[in-house]
Structure formats: structure tokens, C-alpha cells
Amino acid sequence: MTMSDADVLSALRGAGAILHGHFQLTSGRHSDTYVQCARVLEDPALTTRLAEAMAEKISDERIDLVAAPAVGGIIIGFAVAQALGVKFIFSERQQGAMTFRRSFAVEPGQRVLVVEDVVTTGGSVAEVIDLVHQSGGVVAAVTSIIDRGGEKAFSAEYKPLLRLDVESMEPQDCPQCAGGVPIDSPGSRRLS
């Protein structure tokens, strides 16, 4: 199901997923805009539409397996795997390091699509890519609902559903920090 950039942006806005304020992103960078994809993913019909559109973007690739980082990538990763008709696994942090647990495995030679909800620097995606390579798998591509722009920590082919150019900066360069504005950190990396 094809979705235009305007369709995706409208869905995000309609779900109340685009927040404005002072945020620390999962990457550690700061921004005045945060995309809370959990607000989109609480709607199964919308999640399915987005997943089908993401699967369509990579339809020229053979995919054997979808892998996603916990927590943000789990729901959309599962939905993309369902749209592609392949199995799904996810990675989790264990003592600070990303790992496949729960007997999840990538078989040597499997072509893996890495799925995330929002990518800023792509640090979590890069960790999943490393796990796939360590297992002997091949990363066919990476996709996400949102690409926040900027340089990525991975070099795999990247096909996001929507590029949303939102400024982010290092904490020492953040004007809101300098102004004493309280910060919110809604990402999942620091969950315990």
C-alpha cells in the first residue's frame, strides 16, 4: 500500500506523534522536536498500513528475516515481517550490550531486513547490523518509519518511509540547555 510523504506526515500528526519541547534523543543528542512513534503504533490498522508501505519500499530485495532493536523497533518490525511473510526477531540490551536473546538466531547466509521506528544517528541499528554479521547473516537493507536526517552510524542501504529533517545537536551546543529549559528523555535506551 503506497503512502506518500504527506500521508505519513498526516498520520503522525493525527496520532499526536510529533512533539515539541526540549528532548534528549536515544542517541544522546538534543532536539526541540521528538517523534513518539509509540503513539502511531498503538493503532493496529495504521501500523499495518505503515508496515505494508515500508515492505513495498524494499520489494526489490529478497528478505528471509526481519530483525529490530528493542524497544522501539519491536512493533513495527513485527508488522513489517508480517507484511513480508517472513519470521521476526529482536535484539535486547544485556549489561549494556545489544544481543539476540530468547533463542533468537540469524542463520548463516540469511538476508535480513533491519527495522527501526525512528533513526537519528542509527546507533541501535548499527548494533543490530553487527549482530547479523557476527551470525553470518547478510543485511539486505535497513528501513524505518522516520529518518531524522544527518550522518548515520551504518553504511547499509537505507530506505526510510519518511525523511523528516529535524535539527538535533550535541548537549553542549543546545540553546535550551543553556537557557535552563527542563529536558525530557522519552526514548527507550535507558529503560531498566
Q: What is the pLDDT along the chain (192 residues), one digit of tens a residue?
A: 689 999 999 999 999 999 999 999 877 889 999 888 899 999 999 999 999 999 999 999 999 999 999 988 999 999 999 999 999 999 999 888 898 999 899 999 999 999 999 998 899 999 999 999 999 999 999 999 999 888 899 999 999 999 988 888 899 999 999 999 989 887 654 444
Please check whether residue 32 is in contact with residue 176, taking contact to mean a CB–CB distance below 8 angstroms. yes
Domain ranges (residues) in the chain:
5-178
Q: Which CATH number fits domain 5-178: 3.90.1170.50, 3.50.50.60, 3.30.110.30, 3.40.50.2020?
A: 3.40.50.2020
String of b and e for 87-118 (b: at least 16 CB within 10 Å)? Answer: ebbbbebeeeebebeeebebeeebbbbbbbbb
Cell 550490550: give the residue.
97
**Quick one: 132 exposed, middle or buried, by C-beta within 10 A (0-12, 13-18, 19+)?**
buried
Cell (9 digits) for 46:
495504521
Whole-angstrom Cα distance, residue 132 to residue 68? 11
Largest CA distance in the chain: 52
